[in-house]
Chain A
Amino acid sequence: MKTNLNSKEVILKAKNKIIQKIEKLGKPIKVMEFCGGHTHAIMRYGIDKLLKGYIEFIHGPGCPVCVASMDRIDLAIELAKIPNTIFTTYGDLLRVPGSYRKSLLDIRALGCDVRSLYSCLEAFDIALQNPNKNVVFFAIGFETTTPPTSVLLKKAKEHKLKNLFVVSNHVMTLPAIRYILNSGISHIDGIIGPGHVSVITGMKIYEEFDIPIVISGFEAFDILKAINMLLDQRIKGERKVENAYTRAVTEEGNKEAQKLIEETLDIREDFNWRGIGNLPKSALKINDDYEMFDAEKVFDVKLPASKEHPLCICPKVITGVSKPIDCKLFGNICTPENPIGSCMVSSEGACAAYYKYQEVELCM
């Protein structure tokens, strides 16, 4: 008989196991979920409420839209404003306001051709169908979305496309984890490791870290399983990398995808992360073999001096120092309809997840 792994019975059983283990440890623990997809799942399933008092979730910087610095958002907006341009990117980014409080959706309403893609390869088709227009794909994401960008670049070169350009904003997971752990900004007892990212990178890459790490999928039972495994490590005093997402993640990852990245992209010396600032060798740029497609080299745009809202604490939320509810703007001035900071924009952002899934105490 098939068991529904997300059924109430299975989940509550896993919860009870966690509580027993915490009682054995004698104190609650702090777990960082690196990935925004996990933050979203934890809030959506109410796992944080289920384990209140036992597990404190520290939300990590793994939301690609949230960590995109203001100057990158401004770059996107300025590129989209160039006449004769079709600007394409992934959905969530469209809502992020730039320095002048205007988002890509706002400038689309003013007449710019801004399109949301599900697959970046749609940009290739758009470029073919519109030979007289410049098509810009604003690539964003961690290792999960990087290989498709590489495929797009290769396809563009193969077909000798002259009107397709790419901005690489791809960031890497390891430098961000290193930053969080080495800076000591927040105390963490264990990490729920990225799921989709690890499908590409493999789980071996996390071996350098001296902390319990368990790679997890995105279902409620995946996350509870990962927490149980983290607790087992804590109880035994171990610090190793384990895999609770064996149906998707392997030791070595997707070699083919890794090769594609290597062939098309190079590591940037410097890259600005929202909330972190400059993080050396943490992002990828288009390499010299594909530079004719590099929008940053082809187009010369003037960017405004980027400015953040003075009260927005996204930087602290991204690094796990503060919780969304610590922000004065949260829920009253900053809402998903009118986001001030990027964490309220993306469905993977901690603020959006808190807003959407905040607990209600009903007096009945």
Chain B
Amino acid sequence: MYVKLSHGGGAKETRELIDKIFLKHLKNELLTNEDATILSLEGKVAITTDSFTVSPIFFKGGDIGKLSVAGIVNDLSVMGAKPLYMSMGFIIEEGLSFEELEKIVISIKEEASKTDIKLITADTKVVPKGFCDKIYINATGIGRVVKIGISSSNLKEGDVLIVSGPIGNHGAVIMAHRNDFDIDINSDCASLWEAIEPLLNEDIEIHAMRDLTRGGLASVVNEFAKSSKVEILLNEEDIPIEPSVRGFCEILGIEPYSLACEGTFIMAIPKNDVEKAFNILKSHKLTNSAKVVGEVIKEGKEGAYIKTLYGSTRYLEEAPGEMLPRIC
């Protein structure tokens, strides 16, 4: 069985698709067949939206379903918000097999259960062959803010930057899939709430926190520098990168600092809180290889720099546009 245009028609076949695949796995008391879901929310609320178009839809260490949930969970978590609800819109290319679709939906269910985030409204559309690449998912998440003041414009001189784990795995896996390379790397795709929650609960002054998605470490650090008007210096030697990811980057001539991650974050905290933070980071499997990678050296001017292994200092450049492998 595979998805046909008629499954998007809104009639019997649409209901069949929704019942047989979506509701079968994702049903909960808030996901009804009304036009909108009614919620009661108290206090400060965080909301985020993201569209997921990853190709291939199944990759080592995850799939587009898992990625969508983790992406939403992580965007809320790094803003100090406990993920509560999400919406999802599925744009499906006709011809996608029911089997693949169901696998994705099961992934969504499993990943959501890790954080206890609920899918409370959803939509499906089917588009003709060639109008999208198998499946796109747009998701919106809502969370309750448990810690305020986390912002990329809040970095201060003397802040220490900590990366939660090895960088670049997701980007490397996707590039490898697209180029048909068989490499022994898994995407870091993961929901970070369970690792971030104890940090938010502890008495740590978190100035800024970001998950390292598209553009990788280089983009986030540049954005931190720009938003807070500070100069940040990273130490190349201290940046955690798995040897296989490093090797992959060497072969293709790309920078690991610009590769996307999907389950790794960076945070800026005052020096005094570093020990407290590490006590927590070290105790969780998603963050036990966290490392201090640099610091905010000055306020007043924006700049993102990296001290190379052999002592010279250069700009931490973001990758221009598309990542293209070099020729030889």
Residues on A close to B: CB < 8 A? Answer: 6, 8, 11-12, 15, 37, 40, 44-47, 49-50, 64-65, 90-95, 105, 116, 118, 122, 140-142, 144-145, 196, 220, 335-337, 346-348, 355-362, 364
Contact = CB atoms under 8 A, between A and B. Distances in A.
A360 B322 contact: no
Interface in B87-103: none
B271 interface: no
A15 B312 CA distance: 14
B305 A362 contact: yes
A227 B5 CA distance: 65
Given A347-B253, A362-B305, A220 B310 contact: yes
Contacts of A95: 320-321, 324
B320 A337 contact: yes
A37 B328 contact: yes
A11 B74 CA distance: 40
Given A65-B327, A91-B324, 10 more contacts: A12-B310, A46-B312, A50-B311, A118-B179, A141-B328, A142-B328, A337-B321, A348-B253, A359-B313, A360-B303
B309 interface: yes
B3 to A, nearest CB: 23
Contacts of A145: 327-328
Contacts of B313: 359-362
B327 A50 contact: no
- With most chain A CB atoms within 10 A of its CB, the pick from B252, B303, B317 is B317
26 contacts: A6-B309, A11-B309, A15-B310, A45-B309, A45-B310, A46-B308, A49-B312, A91-B324, A91-B325, A91-B326, A94-B324, A116-B325, A122-B180, A141-B328, A145-B328, A336-B317, A336-B320, A337-B320, A355-B317, A357-B314, A358-B314, A358-B315, A359-B313, A360-B313, A360-B315, A362-B305
B321 A92 contact: no
Q: In terms of DSSP, what is the predominant structure of the interface of chain B? A: loop
A356 B325 contact: no
Contacts of A361: 313
B182 to A, nearest CB: 13
A363 to B, nearest CB: 8
Interface string B286-328: 0000000000011000010100111111110100111011111
Given A45-B309, A360-B314, A116 B328 contact: no
A93 B328 CA distance: 12
A238 to B, nearest CB: 29
B70 to A, nearest CB: 28
Given A46-B308, A362-B297, A347 B328 contact: no
Contact of A64 (B305, B320, B322, B327): B327
B222 to A, nearest CB: 13
Nearest to A355: B317
Nearest to A224: B310
Interface in B173-209: 179-181
B297 A90 contact: no
Contacts of A336: 317, 320
Contact of B328 (A45, A196, A335, A356): A196
Contacts of B327: 64-65, 90-93, 140-141, 145, 346, 348
A233 B324 CA distance: 39
B253 A40 contact: yes
A348 B326 CA distance: 8
Task: Report which residue of A11, A49, A65, A91 has the largest number of chain B beta carbons within 10 angstroms of its beta carbon.
Answer: A91
Instruction: Find the residue from B233, B317, B328 having the highest chain A CB count within 10 A.
Output: B328
Contacts of B328: 37, 64, 141-142, 144-145, 196, 348
B259 to A, nearest CB: 15
Contacts of B310: 8, 11-12, 15, 45-47, 50, 220
Contacts of A93: 327
Nearest to A344: B320
